[in-house]
Structure 1
Amino acid sequence: MSSPIYIKIHNEIRQRIEDGEWAVGDRIPAERELAEQFGVSRMTLRQAIQTLVDEGLLERHIGAGTFVARKKVQEKMTGVTSFTEITEAQGKMPSSKTISYVVTTPSLSESEKLNLKAGERVLRMERIRYADNIPICFEVATVPFHLVKNFDREQITQSLYRTLEQHGMTMGHAEQIVSAVAASERIAAYLGIKRGAAVLRLRQVSQLKNGQPFEYVRTQYVGNRFEFYLER
């Protein structure tokens, strides 16, 4: 199965950054120029750029353009974070709405984060997560397909972690990076907030107890509806 066009563009732009064509802090060409270079619509190009923004490789500056992101100070958190368990622990009812659900070839970033072998496929799903029917976050989660191929869609979308644990897979640790960003027009529409409103972006790679990565997730939380708690 071939990759979607926006994933191929994502890979090409990321490779250009890694090859030094654009250095940290450099402004990349405008969307219209890049769309012409790749021979795609601006909507497709914008989708590719947004995946790189969500991964922290690019950052948008309103009114100035899109730039290769600078490294930020990181705070290490421990433990695997399950939205379902966190929400239930606070006495709220978790739910989700699936926006997309597709088995496909991984992007370069997904292959790297999940330690995938050549030819392996992934399940990529986009969901809006709710607490008591209030939208809390928009999530893009990528999972090695071989881990979940025997589960049905509801088992995976309702609570992936719980499903894995029920089938003998023990959760290990997670690497998490949290940063503050402004909501894009698409994310704002999904979460019922204004474009440019503050959101917390979490990028997380979760592992099983045996050290195998099982999920790479990019989540954007409404800034005034969710907070992270760190315990040392």
Structure 2
Amino acid sequence: MSSPIYIQIHNKIKQTIESGKWKVGDRIPAERELAVHFGVSRMTLRQAVQTLVDEGILERHVGSGTFVARQKVQERMSSGVTSFTEIIESEGKQASSKTISYLVTTPSISESERLDLAAGEKVLRMERIRYADDLPICFEVATLPYNLIKDYARSQISTSLYRTLAENGLEIGHAEQNISATLAPERIAEYLDVKRGAAILRLRQTTRLKDGRPFEYVRTQYVGERFEFFLAK
């Protein structure tokens, strides 16, 4: 099973950056030029580029183009890992999800790296809109090692993954998180019922089991006016 075309292009662009051909701060070629180079539609090319933006590898500058991202200043944070469902229910609200896509496929280079996958391993890539009392809070792309979750029903995974793992004796450990600010592109704005360009909080997270195995690589975009991160130290 081959990867979707946009993931294949994602990999090629990432490899170009890692080879040093495009360096930090460089502007990459325009979408039209790249679409011709790869022989794909601009929509497919745009999806590949947006995936790299969501991963923090590229960054868009309004009116200027797309650039190889600079390393951001980081503050290391640590806290317990809490699922979206648990967070929403703790506020006395009803958590729900709408699954946009659910696909067992070949991982991207980034997904393989984050999940420490061996060659040939498959992943489940799932896109969801997450709600609190029917209000869209975030759009999430979660990638999971297929071997870990292949025996679970789709409803068990798409409704509350953490709860399903716990019920099957898999204890959640810690997570590595990167949080940054961005603006909602057209597709995300439509999913979250906000205007294009609305403030978005972007989270990239790798979550591990107690034994250290990574089981989830998730890219989540939260509506800035509907969600905030709180950390107690």
Q: TM-score range by the shorter chain?
A: over 0.9
Aligned partner letter, 2:28: I
CA shift for structure 1 position 81: 3.2
Q: Distance in 2 between matches of 1:140 and 1:231?
A: 26
1:210 aligned onto 2:181: no
CA shift for structure 1 position 76: 2.4
Q: Distance in 2 between matches of 1:196 and 1:225?
A: 15
- Aligned partner of 2:36 in structure 1 is 36
1:219 aligned onto 2:220: yes
- Aligned partner of 1:65 in structure 2 is 65
Aligned partner letter, 1:194: K
Q: Distance in 2 between matches of 1:52 and 1:81?
A: 26
Q: Distance in 2 between matches of 1:75 and 1:126?
A: 28
Aligned partner letter, 1:71: Q
Mapping for residues 81-92 of structure 1, pairs under 5 Å? 81-92=82-93
What is the CA deviation profile of residues 115-160 of structure 1, one whole-angstrom value per residue up to 9, with x for unaligned ones?
Answer: 0000000000000000010000000000000111001110000000
Task: Show structure 1 runs of 5+ residues with no match.
Answer: none
Aligned partner letter, 1:219: T
> Which aligned segments of 4 or more residues in structure 1 are displaced greater than 2 angstroms?
75-79
Whether contact under 8 Å (1:94, 1:129) holds in the other structure is yes
CA shift for structure 1 position 105: 0.4
The aligned length equals: 232
CA shift for structure 1 position 205: 0.1
- Aligned partner of 1:109 in structure 2 is 110
Q: Distance in 2 between matches of 1:231 and 1:72?
A: 23
- Aligned partner of 2:119 in structure 1 is 118
3-state secondary structure, aligned to 2:48: helix
- After TM superposition, the score normalised by the length of structure 2 is 0.98
Aligned partner letter, 1:88: E
CA shift for structure 1 position 77: 2.8
- Aligned partner of 1:21 in structure 2 is 21
Mapping for residues 47-66 of structure 1, pairs under 5 Å? 47-66=47-66
- After TM superposition, the score normalised by the length of structure 1 is 0.99
Which 10-residue stretch deviates more, 153-162 or 77-86?
A: 77-86
3-state secondary structure, aligned to 1:159: helix
Aligned partner letter, 2:87: I
Q: Distance in 1 between matches of 2:82 and 2:113?
A: 21
Task: Show structure 2 runs of 5+ residues with no match.
Answer: none
The CA RMSD measured in Å over matched residues stands at 0.6
